């Protein structure tokens, strides 16, 4: 089936553009149409940029020979839609609220980037704009990670900004994230003679009790306080309605402060569950370290001064951690309340989208 | 696709016949081919029987005008196969062990019935032989239940024997069975900001802890001791690996002694879980009362005397409870250790199959 690539309204303001980006659904793995639309908009409206495509990631660079280069990046995928598309604007385009999947995480940021990429043909720094795929799924699929592995030269920069939702204020660093499976093994039997078997679902009880009673910690790092979280995100087990189950799996997501590495976070969980539920197998299925705030870099200082506001900690893991790994100082700055990301009533005050465009424009035109 | 109906070796001994019945897979819902084979064998080899087909149930009756009629019944479906077919015989056909799905639950019993149905053209009582479908799944699908609702006249009798595995000794009555779902409701949020959501999987923790710590009771009824069981048979929950889940379901199977009705068993569970996990919704999804031993009926006494041995309690729920509901005294009597039913290494000593054939034949030819 041939589907026409949508035209994006890059000159009609960032609110209309956010809405247009959201209304091209792009759940992780299904980003192609939106990537095509962005690539097409750049090829038509931004002749001053070198545009490259890698999978469903797009890299667009100025080549002005400036002394410093910055990366400004955002992911174009979203979590699954849940009756929350197409978007709808409540109120007017200056003060209203835009509702729908992706309005917060993070097509508002992508729209700000796209509008400025098209308009700013002579920014104060050379800019590498990156829109990428597969951020909302397993770490090894991440489009920015793929670029870092296969084209690290494309990401070379002195500073990076990630347009993740941060209520239009600068958020430094990020928590790390670890996903583990706790696997129980038992022995099947007819449920009428349960004593002949060993119930693997029952064996998950102490681990689940630990999670239900766990008090997550708040940890200060470089002056910012990071709030942690330890949660079941999936549970499964069962063979048939009259069989004692021989297998059960509890999947746990640990969001940990950037005072520790992913390896240290893993050791912590291993100790925790070895004490509470020694008979379970613990298998790490996803792991990504956090990033310390990194607000002392000169470009970060200049950026904070230009956009204003007081920097805050970033709770969610974001790809600033990938820049941290490449040795590039990076911060989060984008429209939207991150606590509304992934919720069914995801929504953004349009003022925040406009504020981010203004902030980034001020910085990029005032070096 | 046309598939030929298999020929069953009804004259080659009950061991070969058990093996043949097992080797025609008949997982619940997929009994047609085996039902066809049994119907065909009766039509060829048992002209003395009136044979009726209802769905995948077969009813075959003598019409000898005897003073009393007995029903001898068995289900032809099995739980799912788990690399345990085709059957294999370890040792010889007189003293060996037959391995494979269905050898215990309950194609050994079905084979004994089929061999005797064909051979005994003038039994001491009129006999109604019943092979039926859908015993291993939800109660409302049960083939014997369907016959009881739609053709109760076909089941009219003074006494009933169910060929369920009982180690070839008479097992009286049966436990009841109740299946409930405990449903938790929460609120989704990004797992990086878990405090914005409400984790429905965590909400299952107290109910699961109750099950893991529960000490099942043993209850004496009419001189036989019934052992109960309370077990998780399924658990599920989870939206995505970075989302706090808003729903979780724990499915529980309660096997209860025949001192109480299904309604009383339900009340007991409601009290138990209301105290431990008041925020969960409890929904009954399957319910079937047990049966008291019923060994005082004259035909039961005669049967026990003919086959020998000391009656024991039946732990598993069986369709004797359906006969109890119809007012027909009923017992379990069949080859195989019921504690091996549904296990991967389901297996039967062939001596038990032969013993059951001998016992039933002795009774039916000695009134």
- Going by C-alpha positions, the residue among B64, B171, B54 that lies closest to residue B127 is B64
Of B56, B126, B135, B319, catalytic? B135
Nearest chain B residue to A343 by CA: give it. B189
**B186/A contact by beta carbon, under 8 A:** no
The structure tokens 């009136």 sit at B50
Q: Work out the burial of residue B312: count CB atoms within 10 Å of its CB; fewer than 13 is exposed, 13-18 middle, 19 or more buried.
A: middle
B206 contacts on A by Cβ (under 8 Å): 209, 212
In this structure, what are the phi and psi dihedrals at residue A297, rounded to the nearest 5 degrees? -65, 140
Question: Rounded to whole angstroms, how far apart are CA atoms B79 and B352?
Answer: 22
The parts of chain A modelled with pLDDT lower than 50 are 1
Q: Work out the minimum CA distance from B316 to partner chain A, whole angstroms.
A: 5
Q: What global pTM score does this model have?
A: 0.72
Contact predicate B98/B350, CB 8 Å:
yes
Contact predicate A324/A355, CB 8 Å:
no
**What confidence score (pLDDT) does residue B2 get?**
52
- Of residues B193, B234, B316, nearest to A315 (C-beta): B193
Question: Chain A to chain B, count of Cβ pairs less than 8 Å apart?
Answer: 223
Question: Rounded to whole angstroms, how far apart are CA atoms B77 and B149?
Answer: 20
Contact A243 B193 (CB under 8 A): no
Whether residue B367 is predicted with pLDDT greater than 90 in this model: the reply is no
Whether residue B127 is predicted with pLDDT greater than 60 in this model: the reply is yes
**What confidence score (pLDDT) does residue B139 get?**
82
Question: Rounded to whole angstroms, how far apart are CA atoms B362 and A261?
Answer: 76
Q: Work out the minimum CA distance from B237 to partner chain A, whole angstroms.
A: 5
> Checking DSSP bridges between strand A176-185 and strand A50-54, what pairing results, if any?
unpaired
Longest dimension (CA), chain A: 77
Tens-place pLDDT, residues B242-270: 899 999 999 999 999 999 999 999 999 99
- Of residues B80, B179, B234, nearest to A237 (C-beta): B234
Contact B201 A244 (CB under 8 A): no
Of A31, A135, A346, A357, catalytic? A135
Percent of chain B whose predicted confidence (pLDDT) is above 70: 99
Of A77, A126, A133, A266, catalytic? A77
Radius of gyration of chain B (CA): 22
- Of residues B211, B233, B237, nearest to A234 (C-beta): B237
Q: Is B77 a catalytic residue?
A: yes
CA A245 to mean position of chain CA atoms: 36
**B212/A contact by beta carbon, under 8 A:** yes
Contact B232 A202 (CB under 8 A): yes
Q: Which helix (H) or strand (E) holds B74?
A: strand B69-75
CA B111 to mean position of chain CA atoms: 16
**What confidence score (pLDDT) does residue A301 get?**
87
A204 contacts on B by Cβ (under 8 Å): 208, 235
Mean pLDDT on B222-230: 90
Q: Is A271 a catalytic residue?
A: no
Contact B338 A193 (CB under 8 A): yes
Question: Rounded to whole angstroms, how far apart are CA atoms B299 and B282?
Answer: 42
A243 contacts on B by Cβ (under 8 Å): 79, 233, 342
Whether residue B224 is predicted with pLDDT greater than 90 in this model: the reply is no
B236 contacts on A by Cβ (under 8 Å): 235-238
A25 three-state secondary structure: coil
Q: Work out the minimum CA distance from A147 to partner chain B, whole angstroms.
A: 23
Contact A238 B235 (CB under 8 A): yes
Give the C-alpha distances (Å, rounded to integers) separating A338 from A139, A290, A322: 19, 17, 19
Q: Work out the minimum CA distance from A218 to partner chain B, whole angstroms.
A: 12
Q: Work out the minimum CA distance from A93 to partner chain B, whole angstroms.
A: 27
Tens-place pLDDT, residues A310-341: 999 988 888 999 998 898 988 999 999 988 99
Contact B208 A208 (CB under 8 A): yes
Tens-place pLDDT, residues B196-206: 999 999 999 99
Q: Which strands make up the sheet holding A347-349, listed edge to edge?
A: A88-90, A97-99, A347-349
**What confidence score (pLDDT) does residue A146 get?**
97
Look up residue A61 and give its two tokens. 């660079």
Residues 6+ apart with CB under 8 A from A265: A176, A178, A254, A256, A287
Contact predicate B131/B55, CB 8 Å:
no
Contact predicate B269/B214, CB 8 Å:
no
- Of residues B177, B192, B286, nearest to A316 (C-beta): B192
Contact B192 A233 (CB under 8 A): no
Mean pLDDT (chain B, rounded): 94
Contact B212 A190 (CB under 8 A): no
Substitution target in A191, A277, A280 with the highest count of B β-carbons within 10 Å is A191
Higher pLDDT, B204 or B297: B204
**A190/B contact by beta carbon, under 8 A:** yes
pLDDT band with cut points at 50, 70 and 90 for residue B27: very high
**What confidence score (pLDDT) does residue A2 get?**
52
Of B31, B56, B77, B105, catalytic? B77
Contact B190 A342 (CB under 8 A): yes
**B163/A contact by beta carbon, under 8 A:** no
How many helices, marked H, and strands, marked E, lie in chain B?
10, 19
Q: Which strands make up the sheet holding B50-54, listed edge to edge?
A: B50-54, B57-61, B126-132, B69-75, B159-162, B330-332, B171-172, B312-313
**What confidence score (pLDDT) does residue A8 get?**
97
**A338/B contact by beta carbon, under 8 A:** yes
CA B357 to mean position of chain CA atoms: 20
A343 contacts on B by Cβ (under 8 Å): 188-190, 196
Contact A194 B231 (CB under 8 A): yes
In this structure, what are the phi and psi dihedrals at residue A101, rounded to the nearest 5 degrees? -60, 125
- Of residues B199, B238, B342, nearest to A251 (C-beta): B238
**What confidence score (pLDDT) does residue A366 get?**
86
């Amino acid at each position: 089936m041939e589907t026409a690539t949508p035209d994006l309204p890059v000159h009609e303001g960032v609110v209309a553009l956010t809405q247009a980006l959201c209304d091209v659904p792009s759940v992780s793995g299904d980003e192609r149409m939106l990537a095509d639309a962005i690539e097409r908009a750049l090829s038509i409206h931004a002749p001053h940029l070198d545009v490259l495509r890698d999978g469903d990631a797009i890299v667009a660079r100025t080549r002005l020979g400036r002394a410093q280069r910055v990366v400004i990046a955002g992911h174009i995928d979203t979590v699954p839609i849940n009756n929350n598309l197409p978007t709808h604007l409540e109120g007017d385009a200056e003060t209203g609220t835009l509702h729908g999947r992706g309005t917060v995480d993070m097509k508002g940021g992508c729209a700000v980037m796209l509008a400025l990429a098209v308009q700013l043909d002579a920014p104060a720094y050379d800019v590498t704009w990156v829109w990428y795929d597969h951020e909302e799924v397993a770490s090894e699929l991440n489009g920015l990670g793929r670029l870092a592995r296969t084209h690290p030269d494309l990401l070379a920069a002195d500073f990076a900004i990630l347009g993740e939702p941060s209520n239009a204020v600068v958020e430094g660093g990020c928590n790390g994230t670890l996903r583990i499976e706790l696997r129980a093994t038992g022995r099947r039997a007819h449920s009428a003679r349960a004593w002949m078997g060993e119930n693997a679902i029952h064996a998950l009880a102490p681990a689940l009790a630990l999670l239900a009673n766990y008090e997550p910690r708040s940890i200060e790092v470089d002056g910012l306080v990071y709030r942690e979280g330890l949660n079941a995100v999936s549970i499964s087990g069962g063979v048939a309605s009259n069989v004692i189950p021989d297998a059960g799996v509890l999947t746990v997501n640990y969001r940990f402060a950037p005072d520790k590495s992913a390896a240290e976070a893993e050791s912590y969980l291993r100790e925790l569950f070895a004490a509470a539920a020694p008979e379970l197998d613990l298998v790490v299925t996803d792991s990504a370290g956090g990033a310390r705030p990194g607000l002392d870099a000169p470009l970060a200082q200049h950026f904070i001064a230009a956009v204003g506001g007081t920097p805050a900690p970033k709770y969610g893991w974001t790809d600033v951690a990938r820049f941290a790994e490449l040795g590039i100082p990076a911060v989060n700055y984008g429209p939207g309340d991150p606590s509304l990301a992934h919720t069914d009533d995801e929504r953004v005050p349009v003022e925040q989208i406009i504020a981010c465009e203004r902030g980034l424009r001020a910085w990029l035109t005032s070096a």
